[in-house]
């Protein structure tokens, strides 16, 4: 419904799923006798073809299949006066991805299991990524044979098993849930420790004992030599 009182009319529309919709701008009945020269529909700077439904109403039909179709759509009617309306199409807040806050810590040669859950909604698909510097590399079962296993038993849960861990597996991992109108990500950190790490305290104690025994042994030798000399 267009009017010339003040700025452009704004309509906010929130969508929670893929849908086919029709946006209509129509002159108020009191302006029905005005001569219309030009009608323009735009998304950003892109002009969109429209349908003249009646003499004083114009519409566009949209299939909102992903978040690239969301945004602001503007209808401008020019004649003796100028009218406009803006439709803001926005997606419903995407579900949060539940992940473990603390780093997953394990050792070389072990198996690491990373888990992501989608809260209150089931994704269309899941994708796992690993960070290599500034680049994200997609992970799938065939990326490296006998290395990665992705469990798809539950639609709202995904598990990534990393086999035969090495120091190269240490880093940041992402799980991405794809929904009809957008994607949500979860971030986890994997810390792979050397097998020598748990032995370090023991080796330190052993080293201290060896040093202590050596000192005692040397002291005993020195004492016996002094007695012999005396």
Higher per-residue confidence, 137 vs 212 = 137
The answer to whether 35 touches 77, Cβ cutoff 8 Å, is no
Residue 35 has pLDDT above 60, yes or no: yes
Site of tokens 């010339």: 4
Do the first three CATH levels of 9-91 and 97-193 match, i.e. the same topology?
yes
* Secondary structure class of 139 (helix, strand, coil): strand
CA distances from 8 to 32, 75, 76, 83, 96 (A): 18, 10, 9, 7, 35
pLDDT band at 165 (very low <50, low <70, confident <90, very high): very high
9-91 is classed CATH 2.60.40.10 = yes
pLDDT number for residue 5: 56
CA distance 109 to 84: 65
Residue 7 has pLDDT above 60, yes or no: yes
pLDDT number for residue 18: 83
| CATH architecture for residues 97-193 | Sandwich (2.60)
For the chain, domain boundaries: 9-91, 97-193
């Amino acid at each position: 419904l267009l009017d010339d009182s003040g700025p452009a009319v704004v309509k906010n529309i929130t969508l929670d799923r893929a849908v086919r919709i029709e946006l209509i701008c129509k002159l108020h009945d009191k302006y029905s006798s005005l001569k219309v020269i030009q009608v323009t529909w735009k998304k950003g700077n892109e002009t969109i073809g429209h349908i003249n439904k009646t003499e004083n109403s114009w519409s566009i039909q949209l299939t909102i299949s992903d978040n690239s179709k969301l945004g602001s759509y503007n209808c401008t009617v020019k004649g003796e006066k100028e009218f406009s309306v803006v439709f803001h199409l926005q997606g419903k807040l995407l579900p949060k991805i539940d992940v473990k806050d603390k780093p997953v810590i394990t050792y070389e040669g072990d198996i690491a299991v990373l888990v992501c859950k989608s809260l209150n909604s089931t994704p269309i698909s899941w994708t796992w990524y690993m960070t290599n510097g500034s680049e994200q590399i997609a992970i799938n079962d065939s990326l490296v044979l006998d290395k990665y296993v992705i469990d798809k038993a539950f639609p709202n849960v995904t598990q990534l098993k990393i086999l035969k861990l090495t120091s190269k597996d240490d880093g940041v991992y992402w799980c991405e849930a794809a929904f009809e109108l957008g994607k949500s990500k979860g971030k986890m950190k994997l810390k792979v420790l050397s097998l020598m790490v748990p032995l370090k305290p023991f080796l330190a104690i052993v080293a201290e004992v060896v040093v202590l025994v050596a000192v005692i042994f040397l002291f005993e030798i020195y004492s016996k030599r002094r007695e012999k000399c005396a």
